[in-house]
Structures are given as structure tokens and as C-alpha cells.
Amino acid sequence: LKLAIVGFGYIGRSYVRALNRKLDLLRSIDDGFKVVGVADIEGYLYNADGLDLGRLSVITKITEYRGEKLYGGSAIELLEKGEIDLLVEATPTNVKDGEPGLTHIVKALTRGIHVVTSNKGPLVVAFRRLMELAKAKGVKLKYEATVAGAIPIFSLVEKCLRGDKIKRIYGILNGTTNYILTRMHFEGVSFQQALKEAQERGIAERDPTLDVEGVDAACKVVILANSLMGKDLKLNDVNVTGITKITPEAITLAKRAGYAIKLIASIDDRRTVAPKLVPLNHPLCVHGTLNAVRFEMDLAGELTLIGRGAGEETVSAMLNDTIDVLT
């Protein structure tokens, strides 16, 4: 299998390091496994015989990769160039129009190229269309990393709970807001103070709007509902309230009564993202940047998964998706 990676930011680079670390495993599944291309805003690297994963693992920009021509064209040119079997799409999420990821994914699927993506944008704006295109072309479109990072939600439901029917999904799907609410709960600080601290620690972005207004969590609601509950939702089908108006006083009152305020995404007949009171002893009441997802199933009852929602651990999901395409 010949793989091309588009997007060489934190996730793209972490993914390359994971591939390098797990190369023996990957080659044991497919002895022809190789990374033939990597694209980023500077252009792209391409070698049909495979790029060197060891060298790719230690650079921070593709311009630093020595001994290979850097092409000036776009990722689309890379996808049109060679015999690529799998696109790994790791460009940043754009919830407005899904670009540039959407164009990359459509291009790949149209050419019969499998896709593994960590990019929520294309799925939020065009989930059904992309899945149908993948089906029509007989290729896979995998997106385990897009919701709750390292927690294997989609493959769990698809592969481990095949006899169950999902009645409801709810949980904490945004680590940044969970971090802020955790600091407010345990340290008594204001929203603004907690946000500032999160920004200083690299947990919140400079423009934190998408996280703190609940839009990021709503994107995950869209993907979960479309993927696991057969819906065809867009972002404006989710009722969203963020955490910006939560006061230290509200947190204190909740705490005294044995609750924490958490930003809860919920999917059943209604789709909402809103601050909710969660009992401190409840399995969903996890703190820091953790994510937690709870399924209500008709046979298994309530099943909760807790793990890392972002960061380097996310490549576990991308690697498993990659192995899924390989086998």
C-alpha cells in the first residue's frame, strides 16, 4: 500500500512518528507498505519507491527533508501524480466549508483512494455525501480520530457492539472546555483566568471561540449522529450553548450540592451541547483535558469510555484506521 499524507502539522508529524515506530507491524500486515508522499503548504515530497520514515520523523517542516525534490504544487497535484492507495488527511479543521480537507478527500475518493482523516471539517459539512462517494468507489473513509481522539468510538460500535442498538450518546467531547471547567471547579478561578491559563499551557488556542462556544463539541455531535445513528445533520441542527457565561458562583453552588458543571454533548431525538450538572461520583465526571463518552445501549446498558481527546494519543486512532485499510 502506498500512502500519502496531507498536512504536516502536529498531528501529521505525530502520525509519521507512529508509523516509523510501528513499521515492523505495518510491514508484517503488508510488506509493500510505504509512504510515498507528504504535502503541506510549502509543497510536497513524492517518491514512488517510498520516503524515509526515519528522516521524516525528525523534521518539523517538509522543506527540511533532504535528498528529495520538493515539488511546488498542491496536495491535489500529489494525489493526481502517482499510484496512491491511501490518503491520510491531517490538515486543520475548518467548520465553515470544510476546506481544504474537503477537496482533498473528494479528490482522493473520486480517484478510488482510501481516506483516513483526523480533520472534522469535511465530515461536518458533507458527511453523507462523502460516505456515499466512498461506497460508490468501493473505498474506505475512516475518521476515528475526529471524535474523542484516542477513544476508539466508531470502531467499538461497528465491531464490538454489533448486536446492540444505541439509544443515546452523551459525554464530554471537548478537552479545552473540560480543562477550563476543571480549573474553575478545583481552584475557584474565573472563566477568564482559567482560559488564560489554558492558553498559556497550549490547551486553548489564541482564538478559543470554537471551543468555549461549544462549536467543536457540536461538530462531534454531527459526526456521531450521522455515523452511528443514521442521521444527516449539519452543524445548525445542533442546539449549542457554550461555557463563557459560567460564573465561579455557579460552580461553587454546584460543588456544594455534589455536582460539577460540565459541557455535555447529547444525542438522542435531540442534539444539544450545553453546560450540565454532573454528579461528582458519576462515571462521566472526569477532569482535566480528558474526554468521556457514554453510550446507552439496548443490551449492554450504559457503557462509558474515558481517554485522551486530543494530542499525540490521537494517532492511535489514525494508526488503527490505517491498519483497517491495510487488511
Instruction: Report the catalytic residues.
Output: 220
Q: Does 302 bind its own copies (CB under 8 A)?
A: yes
User: Is 34 within 8 Å of 119 (Cβ atoms)?
Assistant: no
Q: Does 323 bind its own copies (CB under 8 A)?
A: yes
User: Is 50 within 8 Å of 38 (Cβ atoms)?
Assistant: no
Question: CA 10, CA 230: separation in Å to the nearest integer?
Answer: 32
Question: Rounded to the nearest whole angstrom, what is the least distance from the CB of residue 177 to its own copies in the complex?
Answer: 17
Question: Rounded to the nearest whole angstrom, what is the least distance from the CB of residue 14 to its own copies in the complex?
Answer: 9
Q: Does 286 bind its own copies (CB under 8 A)?
A: yes
Near its own copies by CB under 8 A: residue from 155, 199, 241, 244: 155
> What's at 74, amino acid-wise?
S
Please state, as a whole number, how many other Cβ atoms lie within 10 Å of the Cβ of residue 83: 8
Express the helix, strand and coil content of the chain in percent, nearest 5 each: 45, 20, 35
Q: Does 173 bind its own copies (CB under 8 A)?
A: no
Question: CA 189, CA 185: separation in Å to the nearest integer?
Answer: 8
Question: CA 276, CA 271: separation in Å to the nearest integer?
Answer: 14
Q: Does 306 bind its own copies (CB under 8 A)?
A: yes
Residue closer to its own copies (CB basis): 15 or 127? 15
Near its own copies by CB under 8 A: residue from 68, 97, 268, 313: 313
Q: Does 305 bind its own copies (CB under 8 A)?
A: yes
End-to-end CA, the chain: 10
Residue closer to its own copies (CB basis): 112 or 279? 279
Q: Does 257 bind its own copies (CB under 8 A)?
A: no
Question: CA 270, CA 169: separation in Å to the nearest integer?
Answer: 11
Q: What is the DSSP letter of 67?
A: S
Q: Does 18 bind its own copies (CB under 8 A)?
A: yes
Q: Does 214 bind its own copies (CB under 8 A)?
A: no
Question: Rounded to the nearest whole angstrom, what is the least distance from the CB of residue 95 to its own copies in the complex?
Answer: 26
Question: CA 21, CA 312: separation in Å to the nearest integer?
Answer: 13
Binding site for its own copies (CB under 8 A): 18, 22, 25, 150-152, 155-156, 159-164, 280-281, 283, 285-287, 290, 292, 297, 299-308, 313, 315-317, 319-320, 322-324
